[in-house]
Amino acid sequence: TEEVREGPALGGGMEEPSSTQELPSPPPPPSPPSPAAPETPGFPVPEQPTEAYAQQLLLQEWAPPGGSLELPPRLTWKLLFLQRPLYRNLLRSPNPEGINIYEPAPPTGPTQQPLETLGNFRGWHIKTEKLQQGLSWTVKQQRVDLLAEGLWEELLDVEQPHITVMDWYEDSRLDVCVYELHVWLLAADRHTVIAQHHVAPRTSGRGPPGHWVQVSHVFRQYGPGVRFVHFLHKTKNRMERGGLLRTRVTDSSVSVQFRE
């Protein structure tokens, strides 16, 4: 299931986006390092949970099909209890500019500051694609190593839990298309594509500019071999007198779960 709220979307083998470029192959930038430790969930965690207690809590929280999960010998429930690889955002710095989607995008004028100076973009690989008529794309991407985040091969290959991607972009009205999302599920070699999703919604023109538009997609039954998720989104800029007008984006996420 894919969802783009507030505008039509392109998906699957879609028509071309506004830049008239072909859909990209998985890009080659170096993968950002995995976090040293997962973010601590917002509830108390016992300092040293027993194996039985960790198993009971995780099975209740994750609700796997059939009510149970087989762990490989190298994993313990206590370790998974600390890592929490399911139902957690696996992207680093998902909200680098600290913008709240529950309020309209804050007004901003043209800026000459590099994007990296406007927030915490740790984990993102950033580049600019020049277009015509003063337009450009800001391209931000990162690659999630699912095994490094605490998932395991048997789970991904046999159970194939859902992999959900979600994003929010500003309806900036800088062009007909101000946002694109490209996601690839990759094999262990980081190049073989097992599944992919591309969307380039057009602005609806409804409501005041600056409201947030949600884009989401759920990968299901993608087949064995998935080890990486490569997440890439593009936001449109327009050069004006005094600097660059940007389309903001926030609350990006990649998560793995048994139920939506």
CATH number, domain containing residue 192: 2.60.120.260
In a domain, 241, yes or no: yes
Q: Which residues pair with 142 in a beta bridge?
A: 231
Question: Domain count of the chain?
Answer: 1
In one-letter notation, the amino acid at residue 243 is: G
Q: Cα 47 to the chain's mean position, in Å?
A: 31
% of the chain residues with pLDDT over 70:
82
Q: How confident is the model at residue 88 (pLDDT cuts 50, 70, 90)?
A: very high
Select the more confidently predicted residue: 92 or 27. Answer: 92
Q: Which residues pair with 179 in a beta bridge?
A: 235
Per-residue model confidence (pLDDT) at position 7? 39
- The domain in which residue 203 lies consists of 2-15+89-257
Per the CB < 8 A criterion, the answer to whether 79 and 212 are in contact is no
pLDDT at residue 163 tops 90 = yes
CA distance 141 to 92: 10
* CA-based end-to-end distance of the chain: 10
CA distance 154 to 22: 35
pLDDT at residue 17 tops 50 = no
CA distance 96 to 110: 19
Specify burial of residue 101 (Cβ count, 10 A radius: 0-12, 13-18, 19+): middle
pLDDT at residue 15 tops 50 = no
In a domain, 228, yes or no: yes
> Which among 124, 149, 199 is positioned nearest to 169, based on CA atoms?
199
Two tokens, residue 174: 């800088």
In a domain, 149, yes or no: yes
In a domain, 65, yes or no: no
In a domain, 51, yes or no: no
Per the CB < 8 A criterion, the answer to whether 212 and 105 are in contact is yes
In a domain, 44, yes or no: no
pLDDT at residue 215 tops 70 = yes
In a domain, 36, yes or no: no
Two tokens, residue 252: 């990006």
How many Cβ atoms sit within 10 Å of the Cβ of residue 104? Answer: 15
In a domain, 45, yes or no: no
